[in-house]
C-alpha cells in the first residue's frame, strides 16, 4: 500500500533480454510525515498554553492622615522586612531599636524560615508583616517579598515607605564586606 518501491535495483536497462520493465509504484510511505505533523501539533499546543502570562493582584490602601482610619498593630506581632541590594533582606520584630541591635540580616532565600517562625509564635490576629523596600532594591525583590506573603499564607501585610534611618542602616549593611 503506502510504501516506496525499493525493489528496482539494477537490471533496469532496456535490452533484448528484458521482457517488461516493472512499473515503479508512485506511493510513498507517509508515516514519517505523519510523525512530523503530530510533533509540530504538540509543539504548538504546548507553546500556546505556556505563553499565558499570570498576574499577581495588589490592592493598595488609600493614603490617609486621619489616625482613626489607620490600622493599629501590636508591637509583638509586627515583623518588618527591609529589602536591600543584591537580594539582601534585613528584618526586625516589633520596633526598631535606637541602636539597631535587633536588626538582623538575611537573604531572600532564607527569610522564609524567619517568617514561618514568626507566624508560628504569634497569634494569627496579631501578625502583621511590613515590607519596606529601600532605594537600592529592585522590582524582583519586591515581587519575591509579596510572593513570600502568599506562600506563607500571611493574611495581613503592608507595603510601607522606608524611613531615612532605616534607609541608612540598609545602606551601611549592604556595603559591609560579607
- Contact residues: other proteins, CB under 8 A: 1-3, 29-31, 33-34, 37-38, 40-41, 44-45, 47-48, 51-63, 83, 112, 116, 119, 133-144, 146-147, 150-153, 161
Nearer of residues 114 and 136 to other proteins, judged by Cβ: 136
Q: How far is the CB of 176 from other proteins (least distance, A)?
A: 20
**Grid cell in block for residue 121:** 509564635
Which helix (H) or strand (E) segment holds residue 45: the answer is helix 31-50
**Residue 90 Cβ vs other proteins, minimum distance, rounded to whole Å:** 15
Closest CA to 144 of 109, 92, 113, 169: 109
Task: Return the number of the residue (141 or 166) whose C-beta is nearest other proteins.
Answer: 141
User: Which of these, 124, 146, 148, 121, lies nearest to 133 by C-alpha position?
Assistant: 146
Cβ proximity to other proteins, 34 vs 172, nearer residue = 34
- Residue for grid cell 503530530: 38
Amino acid at each position: 500500500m503506502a510504501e516506496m518501491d525499493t525493489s528496482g535495483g539494477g537490471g533496469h536497462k532496456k535490452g533484448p533480454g528484458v521482457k517488461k520493465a516493472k512499473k515503479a509504484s508512485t506511493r510513498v510511505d507517509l508515516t514519517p510525515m505523519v510523525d512530523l505533523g503530530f510533533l509540530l501539533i504538540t509543539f504548538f499546543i504546548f507553546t500556546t498554553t505556556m505563553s499565558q502570562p499570570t498576574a499577581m493582584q495588589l490592592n493598595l490602601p488609600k493614603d490617609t492622615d486621619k489616625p482613626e482610619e489607620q490600622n493599629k498593630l501590636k508591637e509583638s506581632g509586627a515583623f518588618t522586612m527591609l529589602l536591600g541590594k543584591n537580594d539582601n533582606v534585613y528584618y526586625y520584630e516589633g520596633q526598631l531599636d535606637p541602636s539597631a541591635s535587633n536588626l538582623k540580616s538575611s537573604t531572600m532565600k532564607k527569610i522564609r524560615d524567619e517568617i514561618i517562625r514568626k507566624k508560628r509564635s504569634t497569634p494569627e490576629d496579631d501578625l502583621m508583616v511590613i515590607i519596606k523596600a529601600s532605594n537600592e532594591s529592585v522590582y524582583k525583590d519586591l515581587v519575591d517579598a509579596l510572593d513570600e506573603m502568599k506562600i506563607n499564607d500571611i493574611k495581613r501585610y503592608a507595603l510601607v515607605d522606608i524611613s531615612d534611618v532605616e534607609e541608612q542602616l540598609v545602606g551601611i549593611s549592604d556595603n559591609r564586606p560579607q
